Amino acid sequence: MQGQPNQVLSQPYKLFAGSSNIELAQKVAECLGVPLGKATIGRFNDGECNIQLGENVRNAHVFLLQSTCPPVNDSLMELFLMVRCFRRASAKTVTAIVPYYGYARQDRKTTARVPISASDVAMLLEAAGVDRMLSLDLHCGQIQGFFHHAPVDNLHAFIEHVPYFVKEVVPAFKDDPIAVVSPDAGGVARAKMFMEALSASNVQNISLAITIKHRRAAGEVEAMNIVGEIKGKHCIIVDDMIDTAGTLCKSADSLREMGALSVSACATHALFSGSAVERIGKSSLRHVIVSDTIPIDRDFPPGSAAEVAVRDKIKVVSCSRLLAEAIRSIHVGTSVSSLFAVNPAAAPSAAAAAAA
């Protein structure tokens, strides 16, 4: 990546954050060497958002970081109102940094009389006055086309995940072969990029596999078939998000039954809805590597399956440096193409990932 993380940019700009992921925003600010903008964000007694900027933003280039993570509607409305607040305060430009883009899975009409919510959210943000969008691993690439006026930069978290895997996970595999597994046909491109990044990092003997799942209902897998060879290999399931983890854990158990030596998972967005963390703790998954686009609850009873999962299995590799470099590139007008190349030397240590 270009530049130093603590480099202070010469041109004026301001970085603000909504309330959905303050910890990530603080890390991004630290990487940039700038303070977070002052803003008071609260709720009225009836639940309405109460927002007030604490500093002047007239003619400023504003970067606003707000993941639309659960509670999704509250986070989205807060994002909308903050953008409107900056516009009414005469900000010169507003760039929305939305690490996790809510409603992304509703990207097409699957039945009659339903909205295309991913497109409608894009319309909402553009109507609010967003000049540019920056996100991380959109559920599908065509969401970028839902923004008709605001350019969209869709970064990939595997740029940070692969160096961590190479440094902390792959050595335990020794000379055993590795299979990168896509959970469905739609994720093949993502899994292929992950595999190519591993190869570029001098990891040998890697292949690609695809799971074909037969569902009884949404999130409930009845049976699973594999395209590709996984027997006698260490499998890495690559996906953009983990929601309830039901399908992921079922896939991991099935891969082990089919002869996989071990199964790990790598995903960008750790939604962990319902009993997801507990399921991961009880599953055959060895490692679950995620980003910090969504805050993760770590308050579980000692000795519980969920506590074991967050202690021993789930590792968080921060995307703060990636976002900070993107902000720097957007602001000074340089290319973001360097942010799509893996830098093995930038791998965070296991201690740093645990701390994240």
Closest by CA position to 90, among listed 53, 65, 126: 53
The answer to whether 108 and 139 have CB atoms below 8 angstroms apart is no
So what's the pLDDT on residue 184?
86
So what's the pLDDT on residue 8?
42
So what's the pLDDT on residue 340?
79
pLDDT in tens, the chain (356 residues): 444 444 444 457 999 999 999 999 999 999 999 999 999 999 999 999 999 999 999 999 999 999 999 999 999 999 999 999 999 999 999 999 999 999 999 999 989 999 999 999 999 999 999 999 999 999 998 999 999 999 999 999 999 999 999 999 999 999 999 999 999 888 999 999 999 999 999 999 999 999 987 666 665 666 678 899 999 999 999 999 999 999 899 899 999 999 999 999 999 999 999 999 999 999 999 999 999 999 999 999 999 999 999 999 999 999 999 999 999 999 999 988 888 776 655 556 554 554 45
So what's the pLDDT on residue 337?
82
Torsion, Cα of 297, 302, 308, 309 (10° steps): -10
Q: For the segment 104-155, what is each residue's pLDDT rounded down to a tens digit?
A: 999 999 899 999 999 999 999 999 999 999 999 999 989 999 999 999 999 9
3-state helix, strand, coil in the chain (%, to 5): 35, 25, 40
Amino acid in the structure at residue 197: A
Examine the residue annotation and report whether 313 is marked as an active-site residue of this protein.
Answer: no
**Residue 208: other Cβ atoms inside 10 A:** 18
Catalytic residue among 213, 282, 313, 315: 213
Closest by CA position to 136, among listed 156, 159, 150: 156
Among positive and negative, which fits the CA dihedral 227, 242, 338, 153? positive
Q: What is the pTM of this model?
A: 0.90
